[in-house]
Chain A
Amino acid sequence: MTNPIAALGRAVLGALAFVGRLALFSGETISHLVRPPFYPRELGTALIQIGFYSLPVVGLTALFTGGALALQIYAGGARFSAEAVVPQIVAIGMVRELGPVLVGLMIAARVTSSVAAEIATMRVTEQIDALVTLSTNPMKYLTLPRVLAATLVMPVLVGIGDTIGILGGYLVATETLGFNASTYIKNTADFLEFMDIFSSLIKGGVFGFIAALMGCYYGMNSGRGAQGVGSATKTSVVAAAILILASNFILTQAFFSA
Chain B
Amino acid sequence: MIRLTDVHKSFGSNDVLRGVDLHVPKGKSMVVIGGSGTGKSVLIKSVLGLVTPDSGVIEVDGVDVTRQPRDAFLARFGMLFQGGALFDSLPVWQNVAFRLMRGALKRPKAEAREIAIEKLRRVGLGPDVADRLPAELSGGMQKRVSLARAIAASPEIIFFDEPTTGLDPIMSGVINDLIREIVVEMGATAITITHDMTSVRAISDRVAMLHRGKIRWEGPIADLDHSNDPYVDQFIHGRASGPIETLR
Contact = CB atoms under 8 A, between A and B. Distances in A.
Interface of A: 37, 39, 121-122, 125-127, 129-130, 132-136
B125 interface: no
B247 interface: no
A35 to B, nearest CB: 12
Given A127-B87, A129-B45, A129-B50, A134 B99 contact: yes
A125 B83 contact: yes
A135 B104 contact: yes
Contacts of B149: 134
Interface of B is mostly: mixed
Interface stretch (B73-81, B172-180, B197-205, B220-228): B73-81
B103 A129 contact: no
Contacts, number: 51
A44 B50 CA distance: 29
**Which range holds the interface residue count of chain B?**
20 to 34
A94 B103 CA distance: 45
Interface string B46-81: 001110000000000000000000110011011101
Contacts of B86: 127, 130
Contacts of B99: 134-135
Contacts of B85: 125-127, 129-130
B74 A132 contact: yes
Given A132-B50, A132-B74, A135-B71, A126 B102 contact: no
Contacts of B49: 132
Closest 5 CB pairs of A and B: A130-B85, A126-B85, A135-B74, A133-B79, A126-B81
A130 B81 contact: yes
15 contacts: A37-B102, A37-B103, A39-B102, A125-B83, A125-B85, A129-B45, A129-B81, A132-B48, A132-B74, A133-B48, A133-B77, A134-B99, A134-B102, A134-B149, A135-B75
A37 B45 CA distance: 24
A102 B48 CA distance: 44
Contacts of A136: 98, 102-103
Given A121-B88, A127-B87, A132-B50, 10 more contacts: A37-B102, A39-B102, A129-B85, A130-B86, A130-B87, A133-B78, A135-B99, A135-B103, A135-B105, A136-B103
A142 B99 CA distance: 16
B82 interface: yes
Contacts of A39: 102
A39 B102 CA distance: 9
B87 A133 contact: no
A118 B235 CA distance: 39
Contacts of A130: 79, 81, 85-87
Contacts of B77: 133
Nearest to B71: A135
Pick the most buried of A121, A125, A134: most chain B CB atoms within 10 A of its CB.
A134
Pick the most buried of A125, A127, A135: most chain B CB atoms within 10 A of its CB.
A135
A132 B51 CA distance: 11
Nearest to A124: B83
A134 B83 contact: no
A165 to B, nearest CB: 34
Contacts of B82: 126
A122 B85 CA distance: 8
Nearest to B102: A136
A32 to B, nearest CB: 14
Interface string B99-131: 100111100000000000000000000000000
Nearest to B70: A135
Nearest to B72: A135
A16 B180 CA distance: 51
B74 A133 contact: yes
Contacts of B74: 132-135
